[in-house]
Structure 1
Amino acid sequence: MAPQSPHFRWPANISCRLPVRGVLAVASGFLLHFSMSCMLTIGNLTTYLTSYLRVRGSQDVGYAQTVWVNSLMSLTEGLIVLLGSMLYERCGPRLVVLLGSVVASGATALTSVSVKTSLMWVIMTYGVMNGVGMGLVYTVPLLVGCKWFPNSKGRVSGILAAGFGLSGMVFTVIQTSFINPDNVSTEEDGFFRDAALLDRVPKVFLLQHRQKRQLTKHLVEQKRD
């Protein structure tokens, strides 16, 4: 059991009131949520993804079909959240964070390959596998943070939720700057056909994979009961 801090306030002598390990646990959870919430960028990524499947993959794919990537990602995450909480109780936070991070990061890397095959494989890797990884780790920072600060569960949850939401804004800018640095517009049919832009679509998944791996690499050692 983690030591419990009875208060989580912001007084002048804050360093005397907040346990260092508790603060580090919440900060680590913030970064973990920040690195895992790729579903919040799918709206930005869908146009590029659909264009790649349609133009380079010669598939009869439209936005009505690629929306299933996000739908199944969200559904899978919701179904796996309970399993993640159960594994946390049985195995502790570090193992669950490691497992979820490996699954989510690996799924993103695999999408750089699956996007060259078919929409179904993209759904399986970027949708379902990512959902499994995020579902496993989502509740761990909440459980650990609330254990350290039992009287400030709302504030802890708000900090962690901020990490989840902030990543959508940050990674959307990164994705767009990488894939479409010249601000190329879609054609009249609503899809991108610029060759250089489409070449960068599979590579963006490797970029996201590296970002996830770097942000989560040091977190496992800090996740303690």
Structure 2
Amino acid sequence: MSAMILGGFLFFSISIGGGIAWLVSKLFQNSKAGLSLLCGGFLVGLLAVDIIPNALKMYKSFGIILGVLIGYLFFLVLRNLVHPSIGQSPSVYLLMFAILIHTIPLSMTIGSLMENSIVGITITASVILHHLPEGFALTTAFLTQRKKPWKLFLGFLGLSISFSLFIWIGHYVNLSIKEQGVLMGISIGLIAATSISEFILHNLKVVRAISFIGYILIGYLLSSLFHLLL
């Protein structure tokens, strides 16, 4: 299984997740605040039920904690750099960057196993299923900010190319467990900071308290549903 083919599978996976997000957005009548809170709740759920538990099983706590701190510092720096104005949120770009970092340990691990044909089918299935929620989250984020569809397409394409590139790099360069843990921690820190600050707290006073809690819970339950199904 070549790196480019696996990159194609990732594009296919996140596109399906994006299609599901588009259908869900119709239920909310494209409410910007509602979709933002939904995305925030979904990302918190994704961290709580999937990313953090898996990271703690695979990597040492110290590396993850260090990565989370670095990720939060990245968030503060990037937020100031990409804020074109006070009223416009850079959450889409921060989330895209966080998911890109999140794919690096996985893609490099896949690269190191490329010559093992036994794991080929398992890796392919993992790539297809694992990135459905990420496509959902990214598309929801794009919808909240009324971004053009072609920008989302370019984002998906960029992630797929990066995924293929790091698979190729992983075939020749091995990251240590500590380094992978730090990268995973950076991803967790960026996703957590972005979801809480940019999607949830940013809309704290925009909707009523009941709606605020309801949107977040729906997003969290959707992430739990993805986890159970996948």
The answer to whether TM tops 0.5 is no
For Structure 1 versus Structure 2, the TM-score category normalised by the shorter chain is 0.3 to 0.5
* TM-score relative to the length of structure 1: 0.44
Q: Which has the higher contact order (CA 8 A, sep 6+)?
A: 2
**Quick check: which has more Rg, 1 or 2?**
1
Structure holding more helix per residue: 2
